[in-house]
Structure 1
Amino acid sequence: MKIGSNCFSDKTFKSIVDSLHNVGTCEITKSENQNVYDSNTNEELLPYLEQILDLFTPVSSMKHIQGVEKYSASLYNILGKWNMFSVPSSDIETILKAICHAKLDENPQIFTENVIISGFLNEKYMNQSAILKKYSWKEFCEDIKYHNRFHSSEVNVEQLSELLRFLNIEIPSNKLSLYRARICDATHYDIGYTNDKDIGAPPENVATAGRINSEGIPCLYLADSDITTFHEVRARVYDHVTLGEFKNIMPINIIDLCNLDSITPFQYEDVELTWFAINIEAIKQIAKEISKPMRRFDKDIDYVPTQYIADYIKNLGYDGIKYKSTINEGGINYAIFDPGKFKCVAKKHINIKNIHFKAENFI
């Protein structure tokens, strides 16, 4: 079977297929003039996929063990959440069976039954290796909001620290230009805010709770562009806005969460597949929750789980967090723990002329 590189979203897989320089028609997507992987003659993807398949055990051989159903699902549904493929689960099945035909003969149950990764059933292993130990993100949120606000026993901080090590980016002084906007009140409507302090982080006595910072702890929220920051402050037509450009005046270390929702098993070196498998849901949830916009009906307590994660990142000595804007598609936000590491270098007084809405059915 000829499988086009467009069937894969994993960069490692795509680069392998592209490096073969076999141009043809993908039998999965019917796309022509694609770099294709021929499962009858090529073997380059086989070691990677066999490594993954070796993680799984058919549920029929473990039904006597308590908790099996909680963590089991079809092989294709599980792998569909691992960001390796860009095609539906039915096509993932076709691809795996075509490439891994030896495994299909050797262990056909993993292709036909629900499967499980046995590490989920090993409480000792989960407590040692899973970021949220044996708990789900929902269970962690319930615990930290209503039971153990400051010292949750459901987080494995050593494993969280290990994840953060892969996400750190170092930025030299004066290499990062970011933006922050403030909607002008009646007093400043015609002149804008002229004092740098008025468009910087709020002082301690007025700093309200956000997804990253707790009440009373200032945090400098910045964005990659003027458009992103206009969206973030919910600017409306005829609002006057002061836009500040900020630059880092010293080297900083930022934790980049932007691509956590699309992380793949082979993205980072030295990451074990089992570790990836038991942590992928928690990793995605952390990125999703931190990126989620603040809603008018949110309560301060709703921000406690992400504040806990951010506070731990800060405690490790990192300077801030980079995350996706869900309000402006393609936009990037930054939360800087120490506002003093950035300086406002320019200001503009702007009149918002129009805005664009995009709507979709909720269900």
Structure 2
Amino acid sequence: MIPNWIAAPLLLLVFFVPGFAHADPLQRIYNDWQVSCDNINRCSARSSQDSQGLVLQLTREAGPEGRASVSIDFQRNNDEQSTDLPIANRLMLNGKALTFNRREWDVGKKHIASINRVVVSEFVNTIRDGSSIQLGGKLEAQQTTHPGISLNGLKAALLAIDQQQSREGTKTAWASRGNKPITAVPPAPAVPVMPRFSEPHPLSDSEISAITQNTASNIENNDCSLDPSEREVHLFPLTNDKALMTVNCDMGAYNLYVLGYIVSRQAPYKAENLVLTMPFKAGEDDQPPELINADFDEKSGILSTLDKGRGLGDCGVSSRWVFDGKAFTLAAYASEPSCDGYSRSGEWPTLWVSR
């Protein structure tokens, strides 16, 4: 299943400012906080789920007038008939009650949110130097402590966002505020424009037969756990003279590892290893991304991958690549390193967008 964020129109997620190169994405853990920033410096910071379901998330877009949001959600108990008061009436900062003006906040029983930039900034100022936010009220039978949000690492997370968006020392900064004017904050970087895919002629039965017999049958890879007789081969047209060939290699509980090749559609049917090149460094090494749960759309020329960190689907990496006639170019990338149950819907933090 492809995560929901991949299916959303990318144009709605970004805007274009000519003349500014893309930013290197950032994703890092600061004690109990995770920061994720994409290639146009749209950033998010959220608390970990070691809080019995109480989660705080902050988002901010780049630029002097970058939009911001804050939300607090209680995800542990899904019983909407609970007699407990709404969480807005029960949240405490360092033991003192937090107050929320309902004209400025969207308040539900288990959800509080605001997209008012001033309100978000004031809330950040209120909690920035705190130690924890706790949910008061009666404990459930299985609970021994009140659900809470640790603020350990929040200031470092806010500073990382200030640095990523070049807000340090300006009046708009969340952690490193100064007297520099708002105009000192640079605009968002440019959004990469993806090449158009020209849909080629479909593969004929004779082409499929020839490629399979001359190329797929000759592939040897001792690193594959699947026996050669069990390796399924799939062929997709890329251009009128090239095709994508994928070969199932290893099967896990919820991930299928695939080998990829660019093959010619005419004799002598040469095959080259498909190597995906990242425009930024993802992770600790520079190894090219693996083809995991790979899928190719013949109409759009988009190759999708989905690497689940565990069967629950709350963590992992997903990507989309567009074929430009010669190679695959990254179109979208999302990563959720924290397997803590928060991102079960597959809406993982976005690190790369395009238009």
TM-score normalised by L of structure 1: 0.27
Name the TM-score, length of structure 2 as normaliser.
0.27
Greater per-residue strand proportion: 2
Give the structure with the larger helix fraction.
1
